Structure 1
Amino acid sequence: MAEPGNRVAAGEPRSPWLRGGFVLAAAFIGFIAVIGAVLGVASDISGDDGSTTAKEPTTGAAGPSSAASTDAGTACPAPADSPQDVPNSAPTGVTWTLYDTVALPSSKKAGPAVAGKDLARCYAHTPVGALLATSQISVRYLAADDWLEVTRTQTVGAGRDAYIADRTKAEQTAAPGPDDGAHGQIAGFRFVTHNDTTAVIQTVWRFPDGRMQAATTTVLWQDGDWRLEYPADPPDPTPVDSLAGYTPWGGV
């Protein structure tokens, strides 16, 4: 696990949708309650090679991308990652980079191969690609400035349109809640099931007070990429006492 590095300037903008008070006030449920509570003081993160990475630039894991190349309509480059078994240890070659206040993983082999300010897409059609996709998308559709593009492009499911409608209404009528300084980070994962078209993954989130919760997410392989499923009735997060039964994994 990478160690924290230098802190980002205290005045760095943060998405109000990562503030727990705002999310709870808008009555978002399921795993959103976990990921939506992510907030607080951002830190630079050390990569696997010991280097320090700051807030995510507008380049993909496979190299710089032009603004046009982040368009969801463009084809994905062929990933280097090849089919493999579900990982039972932390994937290698992963770099952790801050997105807003959250350390998110990326890999040159498994994706995202194309990453812009908001969208991060083009994941390998492998278990590791699915793991990276759920980690990235589940944060970005909440935290991105253009969350609507992320949600429309990278989520599917019966609950998606209701989320878009509820959030749009809340943004027009609600004010962000106070920033209480708490923030959650990825601490581990466990594959519930995986096949060529579907991966169900439990991600453990750890908060500064030591509390941990596991959120179950599903990604579906559609139109050449993994997409986060937003069900009509998202499962509630569950408290976790330890990482027993999970693979420890995280960037901070």
Structure 2
Amino acid sequence: MTPLRPFRIIVAVVLSAAALAACGSPDPGPTTTPSSAEVRSPTGLRWHTFQGVELPIADQGPDRIDGAVAAGFDRNQAGAGLAAIHASVRMSVATDPQWPRVGQQMLAPGPGRDAWATARAQISITDPIADGPPKILGYRITGYTDTAADVQVYAAYPDNSATCQTIRVLWHAGNWRLHVPINPTTAPVTAVTAPPIDLIPLTPR
């Protein structure tokens, strides 16, 4: 598998498989669009490398990392944004021995997660991204309650392209977990020409 493909392709495979799930609970209800006064950037920003990708760590989380699993995100918008980044990257680039724990501890339980596990078992990732990993630029919170958050994560690639990944995280068992939708209606990752002006920026070292 060539560099960058795990990060871009596995998410598409995940949601394609989830769409085939025959039954299950409906997706969580709508969230509330936060006002600009409610948006707070993470504080104490620093960086941790996982599988070749630089991931942000801040005062709002994660407060513990155990191998491939990150946990301990604050129950606020900054914590939700950081959790969305960690969960989406870790589920995409975790190696074959790592991904079962990522799925069990960083994804919300349900038929979407089950479909993801089935799809992930068909793909082999054995090495970190060694050449040209994506760079996380920042995120936007497009909807928020204390039980669910809608997050757009922006990333740049060495070929000067950029993407936006739409993610929902749910508060479950004391942590934010990524929700894999049963019936996705839009592509989870789309190309963008530039990040939005209201991006909460994260500057890698």
Range of TM-score over shorter length? 0.7 to 0.9
Change beyond 3 A, Cα 1:196–1:17: farther
Name the structure 2 match of 1:64. none
Secondary structure of 1:227's match?
strand
Cα deviation, residue 201, structure 1: 0.5
> Do residues 86 (structure 1) and 86 (structure 2) align?
no
- 1:77-100 Cα offsets, whole Å, 9 max, x none, are xxxxxxx9322xx42211112111
- 1:117-165 Cα offsets, whole Å, 9 max, x none, are 1111111111111111111111112223411111122212432111111
Change beyond 3 A, Cα 1:187–1:104: same
Name the structure 1 match of 2:68. 118
Cα deviation, residue 115, structure 1: 0.9
Secondary structure of 2:141's match?
strand
Alpha-carbon contact 2:81-2:140 (below 8 Å) kept: no
Paired with 2:115 and 2:67, the residues of 1 have a C-alpha distance of: 25
> Do residues 100 (structure 1) and 60 (structure 2) align?
no
Paired with 2:176 and 2:149, the residues of 1 have a C-alpha distance of: 9
Name the structure 1 match of 2:84. 134
The percentage of aligned residue pairs carrying the same residue is 29
Alpha-carbon contact 1:123-1:226 (below 8 Å) kept: yes
Change beyond 3 A, Cα 1:225–1:103: same
Secondary structure of 1:139's match?
helix
Paired with 1:224 and 1:164, the residues of 2 have a C-alpha distance of: 22
Alpha-carbon contact 1:26-1:170 (below 8 Å) kept: no
Name the structure 2 match of 1:69. none
Amino acid at match of 1:184: P
Alpha-carbon contact 2:140-2:153 (below 8 Å) kept: yes
Name the structure 2 match of 1:167. 120
Alpha-carbon contact 2:141-2:149 (below 8 Å) kept: yes
Paired with 1:250 and 1:231, the residues of 2 have a C-alpha distance of: 29
Name the structure 2 match of 1:244. 196
Amino acid at match of 1:168: A
Cα deviation, residue 192, structure 1: 0.7
Paired with 2:152 and 2:89, the residues of 1 have a C-alpha distance of: 14
Give the unaligned 5+ runs of structure 1. 1-15, 32-83
- Out of 229, 245, 249, the residue aligned to residue 179 of structure 2 is 229
| Higher RCO, Cα 8 Å, sep 6+ | 2
Cα deviation, residue 231, structure 1: 0.9
Paired with 1:189 and 1:25, the residues of 2 have a C-alpha distance of: 20
Paired with 1:153 and 1:233, the residues of 2 have a C-alpha distance of: 22
Alpha-carbon contact 1:17-1:143 (below 8 Å) kept: no
Name the structure 2 match of 1:186. 136
Secondary structure of 2:118's match?
helix
Cα deviation, residue 202, structure 1: 0.4
Amino acid at match of 2:46: T
Paired with 1:137 and 1:25, the residues of 2 have a C-alpha distance of: 13
CA RMSD between the two structures: 3.1
Amino acid at match of 2:161: R
* Residues matched between the structures, number: 178
Change beyond 3 A, Cα 1:26–1:200: closer
Alpha-carbon contact 1:205-1:214 (below 8 Å) kept: yes
Paired with 1:110 and 1:22, the residues of 2 have a C-alpha distance of: 24
Secondary structure of 2:105's match?
helix
Cα deviation, residue 26, structure 1: 10
Name the structure 2 match of 1:201. 151
Name the structure 1 match of 2:13. 28
Cα deviation, residue 181, structure 1: 3.5
